[in-house]
Amino acid sequence: MGRNAHETECRLKRLHFLALCCLSVIAACRGAMVWHSPCRMSLSGDYTPRAWWKNPTVPMTRFVARLAYDGTHFNGWQFQVKSRTVQLEVERAINSTLAACPDSDLLDKVCIRAVAAGRTDAGVHARGQVIHFDYPAVAAGRFTVQEFETKLNEGLVSDVRLWNVSHAPPPREKNLAVQGDWHAMYNSRSKLYTYRFSTRAVADPLHRNYCCAVPRGEALDLRKLAELTSIFEGKHDYQNFANRLQHKRRMSKRGEEFSTVRHVRSVELVSEAPEEYAIHVLLDGALQRMVRNMVGGLWAVARGDMSEAELRRALDGPLYAKGRSPIRAAPAHGLTLEWVYYDDF
């Protein structure tokens, strides 16, 4: 390598480093990096980092609750700056209950965050989502869990509802952990997703936000679809059915390879009303957009746009290059996270 080439490379590297610094500063200024601050939500809705989320001097109790929401007007579960998300609304409601507590500086000491069993995409609904959160024991002692549930729902927007609010189940093995270790995501055994679609020539406008209307002309072979569902059952590599996979792989913190193998317990097509169908998918865990991609793949074969062999190749097969995958995700509004199963909740 000549001296000039080496100098150019060094200059490019410096420029690259400078550009990265500038981008980080801009991102931090615009608030995009506030997310990494563990406590960023004030009750007025502005995102100013404050005290550490779990102050060691404040004893906490872990609560667990079922969560139902209409995802139509939400940008998914996960908190985003300048976007309406379910997590934002739930955390705002939980934290606002602290304001009524006589120990009024609790609001400055703690900022409660909710952890969900799974992060749903924008537009996806939930009926039996589960969250856990740590709540100051002194505030929790002031009312029963029933009263707490009422208070939380009073503070929530109408398209989100919390129910079955209760104390986190005690650890089953005494040696293992303290009560606080119950985790909505890690303790979950399986999840039931339901994708609803209609093959009516004219869709019912009262179901339009919860049931995907398969456009007229895209006649689906429903018998074929019902037969196909079985190919997903069992353990398979779903790398062609996941979105943003490269990003996930880079982010894998443990250093080990991010696995895209998932266990799907059952996939079933049922008729819920005349010309209205539901695909129930019971699985241990899902990759991002996996269920919507599965439904999209099933539709493509049932419609004749893709061969059954191609769908089988996509499952367990080598990763398609970006944009080359024949799988297209079904629209978000048809999907509902119906239930998260646990051994002890």
Residue among 87, 97, 293, 336 that touches a second copy (CB under 8 A): 336
Residues 6+ apart with CB under 8 A from 4: none
Among 44, 57, 144, 158, binds a second copy (CB under 8 A): 158
Q: Per-residue contact track with a second copy, 117 to 146, x per CB under 8 A?
A: --------x-x-------------------
- Contacting residue, 114, 122, 131, 162, with a second copy by CB under 8 A: 162
Beta-strand relationship, 261-273 and 276-283: antiparallel
Q: Which of 163, 181, 273, 304 binds a second copy (CB under 8 A)?
A: 163
- Looking at the Cβ atoms of 160 and 184, the one nearer to a second copy is 160
73 touches a second copy (CB under 8 A): no
Helix 86-96, helix 145-154: angle, nearest 10: 120
Shortest reach from residue 121's CB to a second copy, in Å: 16
Closest approach of Cβ 117 to a second copy, in Å?
Answer: 17
DSSP 311: H
Least separation in angstroms between residue 291's CB and a second copy is: 18
Candidates 89, 91, 121, 149; binder of a second copy (CB under 8 A) is: 149
Among 161, 167, 224, 248, binds a second copy (CB under 8 A): 161
By beta-carbon proximity to a second copy, the closer residue of 74 and 232 is 74
61 touches 76 (CB < 8 A):
no
What track of x and - describes contact with a second copy for positions 195 through 214 (by CB under 8 A)? ------xxxxxx-x-x----
* Footprint on residues 243-282 left by a second copy (CB under 8 A): none
Nearer residue to a second copy within complex by CB, 159 or 310: 159
Q: Which of residues 309-328 bind a second copy (CB under 8 A)?
A: none
Q: Under rule CB under 8 A, which residues in 6-65 are in contact with a second copy?
A: none
Q: Is 153 in the site for a second copy (CB under 8 A)?
A: yes
Considering only 32, 34, 51, 68, the residue that binds a second copy (CB under 8 A) is: 68
Alpha carbon 199 to chain centroid distance?
A: 28
CA gap 308, 154 in Å, rounded = 50
Q: Which of 62, 63, 70, 129: binder of a second copy (CB under 8 A)?
A: 70
Kindly tell me which of 162 and 327 has the beta carbon lying closer to a second copy.
162
- CB nearer a second copy, residue 91 or residue 149: 149
Site size with a second copy, rule: CB under 8 A: 24
- The DSSP bridge pattern shows strands 212-213 and 190-198 to be parallel
- Beta partners for residue 61, in sequence order: 135
Please say which residue, 285 or 331, places its beta carbon nearer to a second copy: 331
Using CB atoms within 10 Å of the CB of residue 63, give its burial: 0 to 12 exposed, 13 to 18 middle, 19+ buried: buried
If the CB atoms of residues 103 and 147 are measured against a second copy, the closer one turns out to be 147
Contact (Cβ atoms closer than 8 angstroms) between residue 341 and residue 191: yes
101 binds a second copy (CB under 8 A): no
Footprint of a second copy on this chain (CB under 8 A)?
Answer: 68-70, 125, 127, 149-150, 153, 158-163, 201-206, 208, 210, 216, 336
